[in-house]
A and B are shown apart, each in its own frame.
Chain A
């Protein structure tokens, strides 16, 4: 179910995947490299690396502010590709961005030049929150050509024919949106998660749940509900934002991120152990 072997291998392991998100270049290029590397040290299995777009309509205030900081510090698509090359991590990277940047990149029309460049620097796939399956054929074709994956988001409102269409198109993993709304950390875990997971129970592709996860306990609870992975963005971006506002050193913030990553990964692993027990094996 994955075009990209590196991404495919992650979900073949016998443990739930921890998939953190950070916006590349937040709050600046150098610090951001350290932060992403800290997540890898903390146990990230895949990293969703945000390429900042000026109109991030699917994001809540936390990630929106991160995107503003990254843009103000000079992040562009070309800098982003350099950033990916400069990163010293051994974890598959998925590019999370909006369609206009993909569409606009390079010579000629359509998403192909962007995808070619992404493959060239070693990215493994894409999440594009403003590109529903209906509009995704050109990007899907380019991904197939370069062995990259295209992750779709299943929302709590997604049902019927839309699920079928997505099932045909998705690869790598499916991003299960835990609740309605935009991205942002929450203090509880939504029941919508269970319903959404149940709806795609028989899909062959791995299921990663995101939107609102903040703590190890949330991660455990979501893995118990049947997720193959957890996606965490705002709770990590909050750490970057706070460190930036308080003028903390890059090392300090990186350490906090690493510790948070460990907590979330451990929570996910614990959740898996608990459901194995419950299943009696």
Chain B
């Protein structure tokens, strides 16, 4: 079992005793069904990913971006997965696994609402009751996803402690799980949490790099010089990197949220960023040893990002390990640059990206020389959920953006 527990010094299983048997049961199910394809689990998963999920997603050559940055830019279009983000790959895998395990109920946490939406969809698809925990701040800034979850029959439970973001939602879901563990599966939303979650989620998400690796060889005739992805917990990052980790010539860049500043306010317990890989220290949170935003006492900091899905004080243990090993390069992009990138991609490529994804494009804009001649950027999700936030945040700032965000006056007056 130990080989599915740790990544170098990171990972492990730091959870209340009541959860340990469930985690052992899950480890066993993961090894049998996912790794060994018992009862044809992986075949069914692949088939459902194709028919329900819309896979494979295209690897699209981006003409405008390639011209602008004088490098061949390929977009891995996870925004075209059903639900609008890579999150479905994992959610579908875990809900199906829960079904194979004979569980009766699904719970999940969500930040941006994309994981909650994906889980609600997968649960409806596989006929399982589902409850989602979501922070009050995130409910406010990702309203469309709240409605989508409810439409799919899931219950959305607001979490009001702390700042009301992903960190608090994860703690709350773990509390639910500690009470209901015998019948309930917790579909964790990223490559975080106690083992085997980080391994299992990476395994479900690695379909991204499996496809991308084959597609880029076909389309560009070679492997890329770099793969760039945004990192909150790190699931789309690990999914996009997994099959390239052994290709030493491919640079892997994980782009975090630089927020409004990389500094921290220890006194207030607040980091105005979510740049865990760049600025965090080793510690233990939500079941794993990993890099964290914490004060010198070990209290966890409130993080910040304009994008709810990156707003988390922790990061996946495997990613922390790969950064220490020098295999993955951590980078960060601030709120303003992410918003500008959001507008740029929308206008120039006709793709409205999630604000999370926009961070990866912010990196391309700031470091076009660092990505080599051929780069793959993971478009982790689409930005429909973010429109309200983008309008509000763009108006609030002095950005280099030329777009009309006003309401049509006549229409507004006549209530049309």
Query: Chain A residues in contact with chain B, CB under 8 A?
Result: 53-60, 64, 68, 71, 76-78, 98-101, 103-105, 129-132, 134-135, 152-159, 162, 177, 180-182
Chain B residues positioned under 8 Å from A71 (CB to CB) = 299
Q: A157-B21, A162-B20, A177-B17 are in contact. List 6 more A-B contacts (CB 8 A).
A: A104-B297, A105-B298, A132-B16, A155-B20, A180-B181, A181-B179
| Chain B 179-210 near chain A by CB (<8 Å), digits 1 or 0 | 11110000000000000000000000000000
Chain B residues positioned under 8 Å from A100 (CB to CB) = 283-285, 292, 294, 298, 300
Q: What is the CA–CA distance of A70 and B14 in the complex, to the nearest angstrom?
A: 24
| Interface stretch (choices B170-178, B236-244, B249-257) | B170-178
Q: What is the CA–CA distance of A135 and B298 in the complex, to the nearest angstrom?
A: 18
Interface size of B by CB at 8 A reads: 36
Contact among A54, A60, A76, A162 for B21, CB-based, below 8 A: A162
Q: CB distance A152 to B175 under 8 Å?
A: no
Question: B22 at the A/B interface (Cβ < 8 Å)?
Answer: yes
Known: A54-B299, A135-B13. A103 touches B18 (CB 8 A): no
- SS of A interface (majority): loop
Question: B286 at the A/B interface (Cβ < 8 Å)?
Answer: yes
Chain B residues positioned under 8 Å from A104 (CB to CB) = 283, 294, 296-298
Question: B161 at the A/B interface (Cβ < 8 Å)?
Answer: yes
Contact among A57, A68, A152, A157 for B22, CB-based, below 8 A: A157
Q: CB distance A180 to B179 under 8 Å?
A: yes
| Chain B 11-34 near chain A by CB (<8 Å), digits 1 or 0 | 011111111111010000000000
Q: CB distance B16 to A57 under 8 Å?
A: yes
Q: CB distance A103 to B21 under 8 Å?
A: no
Q: What is the CA–CA distance of A98 and B180 in the complex, to the nearest angstrom?
A: 22
Q: CB distance A155 to B161 under 8 Å?
A: no
Contact among A54, A101, A130, A162 for B16, CB-based, below 8 A: A130
Known: A157-B22, A180-B182. A132 touches B284 (CB 8 A): no
Chain B residues positioned under 8 Å from A135 (CB to CB) = 12-14
7 A–B pairs (Cβ distance < 8 Å), ordered by A: A53-B298, A55-B285, A57-B178, A64-B161, A131-B14, A157-B20, A180-B178
Q: CB distance B284 to A155 under 8 Å?
A: no
Question: B167 at the A/B interface (Cβ < 8 Å)?
Answer: yes
Q: What is the CA–CA distance of A56 and B167 in the complex, to the nearest angstrom?
A: 12
Question: B269 at the A/B interface (Cβ < 8 Å)?
Answer: yes
**Nearest CB to that of B299 among chain A residues?**
A54
- SS of B interface (majority): mixed
Contact among B20, B167, B178, B294 for A182, CB-based, below 8 A: B178
Contact among B19, B167, B179, B297 for A55, CB-based, below 8 A: B167
Q: CB distance A182 to B299 under 8 Å?
A: no
Q: CB distance B174 to A57 under 8 Å?
A: yes
Q: CB distance B181 to A99 under 8 Å?
A: no
A29: min CB distance to chain B, Å:
16
Q: What is the CA–CA distance of A100 and B314 in the complex, to the nearest angstrom?
A: 13
Contact among A76, A129, A131 for B297, CB-based, below 8 A: A76
**Nearest CB to that of B25 among chain A residues?**
A157
Q: What is the CA–CA distance of A180 and B20 in the complex, to the nearest angstrom?
A: 12
Chain A residues positioned under 8 Å from B179 (CB to CB) = 180-182
Q: CB distance B171 to A55 under 8 Å?
A: yes
Q: CB distance B178 to A130 under 8 Å?
A: no
Q: CB distance A53 to B299 under 8 Å?
A: yes
**Nearest CB to that of A130 among chain B residues?**
B14
Chain A residues positioned under 8 Å from B13 (CB to CB) = 132, 134-135
Give residues of chain B (228-242) contacting chain A, Cβ–Cβ below 8 Å: none
Chain B residues positioned under 8 Å from A105 (CB to CB) = 297-298
Q: CB distance A132 to B175 under 8 Å?
A: no
A202: min CB distance to chain B, Å:
20
Q: What is the CA–CA distance of A134 and B20 in the complex, to the nearest angstrom?
A: 10
Chain A residues positioned under 8 Å from B298 (CB to CB) = 53, 77, 100-101, 103-105
Contact among A57, A129, A159, A162 for B286, CB-based, below 8 A: A57
Residue in A71, A78, A130, A152 with the greatest tally of chain B CB atoms within 10 Å? A130
Q: What is the CA–CA distance of A57 and B19 in the complex, to the nearest angstrom?
A: 11
Q: CB distance A54 to B269 under 8 Å?
A: yes
Chain B residues positioned under 8 Å from A53 (CB to CB) = 298-299
**Nearest CB to that of B300 among chain A residues?**
A54
Q: What is the CA–CA distance of A98 and B300 in the complex, to the nearest angstrom?
A: 12
Q: CB distance A153 to B284 under 8 Å?
A: no
Known: A55-B300, A60-B175. A132 touches B22 (CB 8 A): no
B271: min CB distance to chain A, Å:
13
Q: CB distance B269 to A177 under 8 Å?
A: no
Q: CB distance A157 to B283 under 8 Å?
A: no
Q: CB distance A57 to B18 under 8 Å?
A: no
**Nearest CB to that of A157 among chain B residues?**
B21
Chain A residues positioned under 8 Å from B269 (CB to CB) = 54
Give residues of chain B (256-291) contacting chain A, Cβ–Cβ below 8 Å: 269, 283-287
Q: CB distance B18 to A180 under 8 Å?
A: yes
Q: CB distance B16 to A153 under 8 Å?
A: yes
Q: What is the CA–CA distance of A154 and B21 in the complex, to the nearest angstrom?
A: 11
Chain A residues positioned under 8 Å from B283 (CB to CB) = 100, 103-104
B166: min CB distance to chain A, Å:
12
Q: CB distance A156 to B285 under 8 Å?
A: no
Give residues of chain B (23-77) contacting chain A, Cβ–Cβ below 8 Å: 24
Chain A residues positioned under 8 Å from B284 (CB to CB) = 98-100, 103, 130
Chain A residues positioned under 8 Å from B14 (CB to CB) = 99, 130-132, 135
Chain B residues positioned under 8 Å from A57 (CB to CB) = 15-16, 171, 174-175, 178, 286
Chain A residues positioned under 8 Å from B174 (CB to CB) = 57
Closest 7 CB pairs of A and B: A104-B298, A181-B179, A155-B18, A155-B17, A58-B16, A54-B299, A157-B21
Q: CB distance A177 to B15 under 8 Å?
A: no
Chain B residues positioned under 8 Å from A58 (CB to CB) = 16, 175, 178
Q: What is the CA–CA distance of A54 and B12 in the complex, to the nearest angstrom?
A: 20
Chain B residues positioned under 8 Å from A156 (CB to CB) = 18
